[in-house]
């Protein structure tokens, strides 16, 4: 991509809970790696953008919901790299547009809304062909940006950056499973990886991740696990407890968390620590995957957005 990656800091989170448990908790602020294409999205889009440029595409097309981090990042990446962009949005158009869709539109993304039922066809070749007839030639990036090139980018992140940090457990939120798949491949059994599903009924992701890792690397790594009970109602759903936790983390540690991904992951790690899951002397590294676009640091603003 045209703008270089910015190295991001690692901070320690200090809590009496952690001291009592005899562990350290660090957080990798990857949300600071780019002002608009932030967090894991930078890595997932990196090689997709390169591939689209290599094959002389002038238009990117992708899929997402109304609050999709991926829609936001793809619109920014397309604008930055000279592409037209089309976002196939799940659900009806609602005014005023939220911050995510307003930004995407401002970056030149054409927003095309389809019903939730039709959205389920997003991977159907006949549906893709229909989009081709409607929009012309385009480079398609799947929902969430997850494909083999995204796995490649996240593998690179693990190899070049995550492997240079001292820790025992890497913890990250999981949506489509692309980021964790690349990281598992990049760490190659050298660290333990814990994913936290942000989807309700996310058990299916275990097979998805396992197969994606196998297809990409040829290996079945066993150094990872997926927690599926910390979704707070499902994708983009929140509870009052989660909103209070976001506020507490902001006030206590000046740590902004997005309600869709990172807040659920950090919450899960607090709960797992309370349960005594981690052996004394362990160090956890929490991967902040971004998603802060359009969110004020004010939890009241976040709560308004979640309603």
What DSSP string describes 28-80? Answer: E-GGGS-SSS-THHHHHHHHHHHHHHHTT--EEEEEE-TT-HHHHHHHHHHHH
pLDDT confidence of residue 29? 97
Which structure tokens are listed for 18?
């952690």
User: Which are the contacts of 16, defined by CB distance < 8 A and separation ≥ 6?
Assistant: none
Per-residue pLDDT of the chain (307 residues; tens, 9 = 90+): 555 778 899 999 999 999 999 999 999 999 999 999 999 999 999 999 999 999 999 999 999 999 899 999 999 999 999 999 999 999 999 899 999 999 999 999 999 999 999 999 999 999 999 999 999 999 999 999 999 999 999 999 999 999 999 999 999 999 999 999 999 999 998 899 999 999 999 999 999 999 999 999 999 999 999 999 999 999 889 999 999 999 999 999 999 999 999 999 999 999 999 999 999 999 999 999 998 875 543 333 443 333 2
Tell me the whole-structure pTM to 2 decimals: 0.91
Own/partner pairs for 48-57, CB < 8 Å, 24+ apart? Answer: 48/139, 48/141, 48/145, 48/147, 48/149, 48/150, 49/1, 49/77, 49/81, 50/1, 51/139, 51/149, 52/83, 52/139, 53/81, 55/139, 57/83, 57/137, 57/138, 57/139
pLDDT confidence of residue 305? 38
Q: Which domains does the chain have, with CATH numbers?
A: 10-35+147-306 (3.40.50.1100), 40-145 (3.40.50.1100)
């Amino acid at each position: 991509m045209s703008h270089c990656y910015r190295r991001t800091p690692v901070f320690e989170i200090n809590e009496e809970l952690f001291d009592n448990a005899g562990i350290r908790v660090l957080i990798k602020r990857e949300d600071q790696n780019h002002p608009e294409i932030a967090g894991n999205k930078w890595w997932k889009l990196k090689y997709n953008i390169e591939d689209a440029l290599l094959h002389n595409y002038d238009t990117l097309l992708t899929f997402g919901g109304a609050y999709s981090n991926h829609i936001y990042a793809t619109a920014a990446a397309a604008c930055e790299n000279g592409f037209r962009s089309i976002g196939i949005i799940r659900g009806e158009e609602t005014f005023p547009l939220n911050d995510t869709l307003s930004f995407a539109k401002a970056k030149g993304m054409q927003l095309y809304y389809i019903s939730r039922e039709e959205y389920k066809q997003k991977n159907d070749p006949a549906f893709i062909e229909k989009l081709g007839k409607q929009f012309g030639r385009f480079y398609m990036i799947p929902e969430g940006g997850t494909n083999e090139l995204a796995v490649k980018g996240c593998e690179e992140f693990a190899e070049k950056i995550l492997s240079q940090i001292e820790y025992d457990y890497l913890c990250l939120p999981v949506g489509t499973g692309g980021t964790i798949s690349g990281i598992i491949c990049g760490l190659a059994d050298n660290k333990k990886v814990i994913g936290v599903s942000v989807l309700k009924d996310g058990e299916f992701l275990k097979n998805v991740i396992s197969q994606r890792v196998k297809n990409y690397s040829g290996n079945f790594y066993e150094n990872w696990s997926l927690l599926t009970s910390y979704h707070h109602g499902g994708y983009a759903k929140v509870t009052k407890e989660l909103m209070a936790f976001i506020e507490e983390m902001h006030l206590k540690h000046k740590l902004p968390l997005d309600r869709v991904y990172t807040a659920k992951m950090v919450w899960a790690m607090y709960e797992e620590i309370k349960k005594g899951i981690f052996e004394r002397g362990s160090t956890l590294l929490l991967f902040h995957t971004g998603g802060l676009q359009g969110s004020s640091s004010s939890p009241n603003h976040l709560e308004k957005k979640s309603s």
